[in-house]
Structure 1
Amino acid sequence: MKFAAVQKVLGLLLTLFSFTMLPPALVAMLYQDGAIWPFIFAFGLILVTGLLIFLPVSRSQHVLRLRDGFLVVVLFWTTLGLAGALPFLLSPSPEISPTDAVFESLSGLTTTGATVIIGLDELPKSILYYRQQLQWLGGMGIIVLAVAVLPMLGIGGMQLYRAEMPGPMKDSKLTPRITETAKALWYIYLWMTIACALAYWGAGMTFFDAIGHAFSTVAIGGFSTHDLSMGYFDSTLIEMVAVIFMLLAGMNFTLHFVAVHRQDLRVYFHDSEFRFYMLIMVTVATFVTFTLHQTQTYLTWEESFTKGLFQAVSIGTTTGFTTAEFYFWPPFLEILLLFASFVGGCAGSTGGGIKVIRVLLLIKQGVREIGRLIHPNAQLPVRIGGKTVNHRVVDAVWGFFSLYVASFVLMYLMLTATGLDLVTSFSAVAACINNLGPGLSQVGAHYADLQDPAKWILCFAMLLGRLEIFTLLVLLTPAFWQR
C-alpha cells in the first residue's frame, strides 16, 4: 500500500473541492441572503486542510496502484461528506445538528436526494443552490473530474477510474486515454446540464430554479428548491421536460458519446441494455397509469398518465423527484415503484440501483440454468447484444448481487432495531442503497424524524450504493491490507 501516494491524491482532491464553496458564496452575494460567511469559512478550512495533507508528500513519486485507488475513492467520499456538511452546520438557516448536516451532505453527493431539511421555500438562496450543486458534482463523480486533472500533475488516473465508474464493464473506455475518457464524459454531462436548464427555463421556471433542477435532474439526484418538489410548478410541460432528461441521464453515457461521435441515433436501439431499460420504464409507467385510473386515484386518463409517467420514470431512474404523494397511492403501486428503483439506471449512467445490465445478465443466467436442467450437456453461453459474456463478468454480477442482498438485509435489521416499523425500515434502506431518496411510510416526505443511529446507518447505505458495494466492502477484508 503506497500511503504517500494516497495522501497526495487525497490532499489534492480536497483542495480542489474547497473551490466549490465559492459559487454558492457568489449566490449569497447576488441575493444578499446573509449566508456568505459559512461558505467563506468552509472554503478556507477545507483549503488549508487539503494543503496540510498534500504538502508533506508533494514530492512523492510513488505510482498509484489499483488497490490504492479503492482506498482513495472511499476516503475521499467519506471526507467529502464531512467537509460538505460544513456550510449546513455553520449557516444560521437551517439550524440542524451535525448528524443532519452530514446526512444532507452525503445525500447530495451520492445523488440520493433523501433530505432532513423541512421548509425549503424559506431557506437562503445560497443554501438551496449549494444542495443542488452537491448533487451535480456527485452525479458523474468528482473522481472522474479529477482523473482529467491529475495526469497534468504527474498522477495517473486509471486506478481511480476503475474504482469509481458504475457498472460491471469497468475496463471499457470511450477513448484510448483515460484522461480523454474523463473529459468526454464531462463534456456530455455539461452540455446535457445546459440543455436541461434552458429547457426548464423555456418551460416556465425561473432562471434560478432552472439551473438548480437541471443540476439534480442530470445528476439523477432529486433535490429540489421547493418542499413540493416538481409538484410546486404544477406544469405538465415542465414535468415532461424532466421525464425526457431523467431518461437521458439514466442511459449509459457511452451510448451518448458514440451516438454524438457517429451522428447516428440507431446506436441506442442496437444496445441490449437500452432496449431493456426502455421496456422496464414503459411497462412500469403503463401499470401505474392503468392502476391510478382504475382505483380512481385520479379521475381522468390524462392526469393518471402524467402523474403515473412522471413518478414511474423518476422512481425507476432513482431520481426521486415527485409531483404527487405516491407513498399514499394504492399499496401495489408503492411496492411496484420501489422495486423499479432496485433496477435503477444503466451502467455508466448517473443513476443508482443494481443497474439494468446486471439485472439483464441475472435474468439471462437464470434462463441458462433452466436450459441446463433440460439439456445437461449443452453449451449455453450468456449473450448480450449477440456477444458472449465472459464468465468472469457473470461471476462478478452474482457476487455483486449476493453482497447487495446481504448488505441490504443487515441494514434492514439494524434499522428495525432502532424502533422503526418494517415498511419504513425496508423502504428507507432501499431508497438509500439505491440512491433514490423518497421512501414509504415515515420517510415518504423526509427523514427528519429518524433517530441519529438510523441516519448514520442510512449514510453508510448511501455510500455503499454510490460506490457500487465492492469498492467500499473490499476495504473491510483482511486480504486488502496484506502486502
Structure 2
Amino acid sequence: MLHLASTARLLGVLLTLFSLAMLPPAAIGFLYGESTAYVFLQAFALLLLMGGLLWAPLYRMRQELQARDGFILVVLFWLGLGIAGATPLYLDPSLQVSFTDAAFESMSGLTTTGATVLTGLDDLPRALLWYRQQLQWMGGMGIIVLAVAILPLLGVGGMQLFKAETPGPIRDNKLTPRIAETARNLWYIYLGLTVACALAYWAAGMDAFDAIAHSFTTVAIGGFSTYDASIGHFDSVAIEMVAIAFMVLGGMNFALHFLVLHRATWKPYRRDEELRAYLLVLGSAIVLVVGFMLWSGFTDQFGDALRRGVFHVVSIATTTGYATDSFYLWPGFLPVLLILLSFIGGCTGSTGGGMKVVRVLLLVKQGLREIKRLIHPHARIAVKVNGKEAPDRVVQAVWGFLAAYVMVFVVMMLGLMASGLDQVTAFSAVAASLNNLGPGLGEVGPNFQSINDFSKWVLVVAMLMGRLEIFTVLVLLSPAFWRR
C-alpha cells in the first residue's frame, strides 16, 4: 500500500532543506558586492514557502515508508529539485535564460552531469558560479543520503530511501549496522576528500575561490568549471595532476575508502577486483590514446601526448567531463573512444556515472562463462567477483539493466534525431546525459546551448535516469507498481 500523504510531507521537508542551499551563494554575492545576492534570497524565500505549504497540511502523518514509497519519493525529489534548482538561474537578469535552459542547467548540476547551456562563464557573477559548483557537490553523494544522515526526525525508514538512491547490482551490504551511521560515514569521507582537494588546488596555484569551487566538482565527478575553458584556463601541469588524482579517487567505491580508513590498511584496495578492473581500463585507454596521438602525427612530443591523453582519459572515463583541449576535434577514433569509455564509468558506490565497472566486469565474466559452457556443456562454472560467487539473480539483474539501458538509449537517440539533430550529435548527447558525463561530440561538443528545447527536455530525463540508474525511474512506469 502506498503512503502518498507521508511521501508528500517528506517531499515538503526535503524541499525546505534544499531552500537552505540558496544562502551560501547569497553570502558569496554580498561578499563580492553583487546584486545577484538578492536573487538567491528571493529563491530561498520562494522555495521555503513552497516546502512549507507542502509540509504544513500533512505534518501529522507519521507512517513508515515502504520500499515502493521510497522509489516515488526519490524520483519526485530529484525531479522536483531539478526544477526548484532552476529558480535563481531563471530569475537572475544577468543570465536571461529560458526556463528550459535554467532547468537543463540545474538538472545537469544536481545529477553531476556537467552539460551546460551557459557561455561567458568568465564574466558571470561569482554567486552564480558558486551555485553551479555547489549543485554538483550536493548531488555528488546524494542529498537524500545527507537527509537520512542528519534528519532522523523525518520518521522514515532510512534503508528504503538509501536503497532507492543507490540501486547498484550489489547493494545490500551496509558499512555499519545503522543506515544513518553509514550515510554519515560516507559524507565524512566525501567532505574530507573535498577539503583535501581544495587545499591541493590552492597549493598548485588556484586562488581560494577557484580552489574550493573546483574541489566541489572534482570530488563529485561533475565537471562544471568557473571558466569557459574549464581546467585548460589555468594551463598548469600541477593543477591537472591534482584534478587527475581526485577524479580517480572520486571514481572509486567510497566503501573502499571507508574500509581503508577504518582498518588503517591498504588491503581493501589491493583485494578489490572492481578497482583493479577500473585501473586497468584507465591504464589501457591511456596507452591507446597516447600511442595513437604519436602514431597519427597529432603531436610529435611524447610529453604533450601524455599530458593531454592522461587528463582526458581520466576525465571522460570517470564521467567528470573536465577538459584542457577540444577533444571532440581530435583525430581518428579518439573522440568516439573517449565517449565509449564513459559507458563503463566509475566504480559502484562512487560519485561517477555510466553503467559502473562492476556491471561491465560481470558481463565480461558471464560472456566468458558462456564460451566455456559451449566447450564443456556439463561443467558447473561460477561467475565470481572478489573470490565469491555472484548469485544468478545478480547476473540476471545486470543483463536486465543492460537491456533497459540499451532500450532507453535507442528511444532517446531516435527522439533527438527526429527533432532535427544529426546522428553524431544525437548519439553523443544521449551518451553524455545518460552516463552523467557532460561534454559530447558534433553540435554539443562546445556546449548544449544551440539544440532545440524538445531535445533539452529529453536530455533532462536522461540525466535523471542516469543519476538514479534507470530502474528507479522505470519501475514507476510499471502498472504492477501501482497495484495493491
TM-score range, shorter chain: over 0.9
1:457 aligns with 2:445: no
Map of 2:94 onto structure 1: 93
For residues 15 and 86 of structure 1, the distance between their equivalents in structure 2, rounded to whole angstroms, comes to 14
Map of 2:234 onto structure 1: 233
Specify the code of the residue in structure 2 equivalent to 1:333: L
What is the SS of the residue equivalent to 2:322? coil
Q: Deviations over 1:27-55 (max 9, x none)?
A: 00001121011100110111111111111
For residues 353 and 78 of structure 2, the distance between their equivalents in structure 1, rounded to whole angstroms, comes to 16
Deviation of 1:177 after TM superposition, in Å, equals 0.4
1:431 aligns with 2:432: yes
Residues 111 and 139, structure 1, Cα contact 8 Å, conserved in 2: yes
Map of 2:52 onto structure 1: 51
**Within-5 A mapping of 1:57-206:** 57-206=58-207
Deviation of 1:335 after TM superposition, in Å, equals 1.1
What is the SS of the residue equivalent to 2:216? helix
For residues 419 and 61 of structure 1, the distance between their equivalents in structure 2, rounded to whole angstroms, comes to 49
Specify the code of the residue in structure 1 equivalent to 2:134: Q
Map of 1:369 onto structure 2: 370
Map of 1:214 onto structure 2: 215
Deviation of 1:266 after TM superposition, in Å, equals 2.2
Deviation of 1:153 after TM superposition, in Å, equals 3.7
For residues 18 and 300 of structure 2, the distance between their equivalents in structure 1, rounded to whole angstroms, comes to 49
For residues 119 and 153 of structure 1, the distance between their equivalents in structure 2, rounded to whole angstroms, comes to 41
1:285 aligns with 2:286: yes
Specify the code of the residue in structure 1 equivalent to 2:128: I
For residues 314 and 113 of structure 1, the distance between their equivalents in structure 2, rounded to whole angstroms, comes to 12
What is the SS of the residue equivalent to 1:338? helix
For residues 136 and 332 of structure 2, the distance between their equivalents in structure 1, rounded to whole angstroms, comes to 30
For residues 14 and 483 of structure 2, the distance between their equivalents in structure 1, rounded to whole angstroms, comes to 26
Specify the code of the residue in structure 2 equivalent to 1:121: D
Deviation of 1:156 after TM superposition, in Å, equals 2.1
Specify the code of the residue in structure 2 equivalent to 1:403: A
Map of 1:347 onto structure 2: 348
Specify the code of the residue in structure 2 equivalent to 1:268: Y
Deviation of 1:59 after TM superposition, in Å, equals 1.0
For residues 170 and 11 of structure 2, the distance between their equivalents in structure 1, rounded to whole angstroms, comes to 26
Q: Deviations over 1:84-112 (max 9, x none)?
A: 00010011111110000000000000000
Map of 2:382 onto structure 1: 381
For residues 153 and 438 of structure 1, the distance between their equivalents in structure 2, rounded to whole angstroms, comes to 38
Specify the code of the residue in structure 2 equivalent to 1:367: L
Deviation of 1:377 after TM superposition, in Å, equals 1.2
For residues 226 and 451 of structure 1, the distance between their equivalents in structure 2, rounded to whole angstroms, comes to 24
Deviation of 1:200 after TM superposition, in Å, equals 0.2
Residues 38 and 86, structure 1, Cα contact 8 Å, conserved in 2: no
TM-score (norm 1): 0.99
**Within-5 A mapping of 1:255-404:** 255-404=256-405
Deviation of 1:5 after TM superposition, in Å, equals 1.5
Q: Deviations over 1:281-301 (max 9, x none)?
A: 001111111111222222310
Query: Are residues 166 and 208 of structure 1, via their aligned partners in 2, closer, same or farther at CA, if it must alter by over 3 Å?
Result: farther
Q: Deviations over 1:1-49 (max 9, x none)?
A: 1011101211110010000100000000001121011100110111111
Map of 1:473 onto structure 2: 474
Residues 166 and 348, structure 1, Cα contact 8 Å, conserved in 2: no
1:443 aligns with 2:444: yes
For residues 267 and 33 of structure 2, the distance between their equivalents in structure 1, rounded to whole angstroms, comes to 49
For residues 172 and 150 of structure 1, the distance between their equivalents in structure 2, rounded to whole angstroms, comes to 22
1:16 aligns with 2:26: no
Q: Deviations over 1:426-462 (max 9, x none)?
A: 0000000000000001111100000000101111110
Deviation of 1:166 after TM superposition, in Å, equals 4.8
Percent identity reads 58
Specify the code of the residue in structure 2 equivalent to 1:206: D
For residues 302 and 34 of structure 2, the distance between their equivalents in structure 1, rounded to whole angstroms, comes to 43
TM-score (norm 2): 0.99
Residues 24 and 127, structure 1, Cα contact 8 Å, conserved in 2: yes
Residues 36 and 127, structure 2, Cα contact 8 Å, conserved in 1: yes
Specify the code of the residue in structure 1 equivalent to 2:269: Y
What is the SS of the residue equivalent to 1:331? coil
Q: Deviations over 1:348-386 (max 9, x none)?
A: 000000000000000001111111111111111110011
- Give the total of aligned pairs: 483
Map of 1:421 onto structure 2: 422
What is the SS of the residue equivalent to 1:445? coil
For residues 158 and 9 of structure 2, the distance between their equivalents in structure 1, rounded to whole angstroms, comes to 13
Q: Deviations over 1:128-158 (max 9, x none)?
A: 0000000000000001101113323432211
For residues 235 and 270 of structure 1, the distance between their equivalents in structure 2, rounded to whole angstroms, comes to 34
Residues 114 and 438, structure 2, Cα contact 8 Å, conserved in 1: yes
Deviation of 1:56 after TM superposition, in Å, equals 1.2
Deviation of 1:127 after TM superposition, in Å, equals 0.2
Residues 132 and 215, structure 1, Cα contact 8 Å, conserved in 2: yes
Q: Deviations over 1:222-277 (max 9, x none)?
A: 00000000000000010010000000000000000000001111210100000000
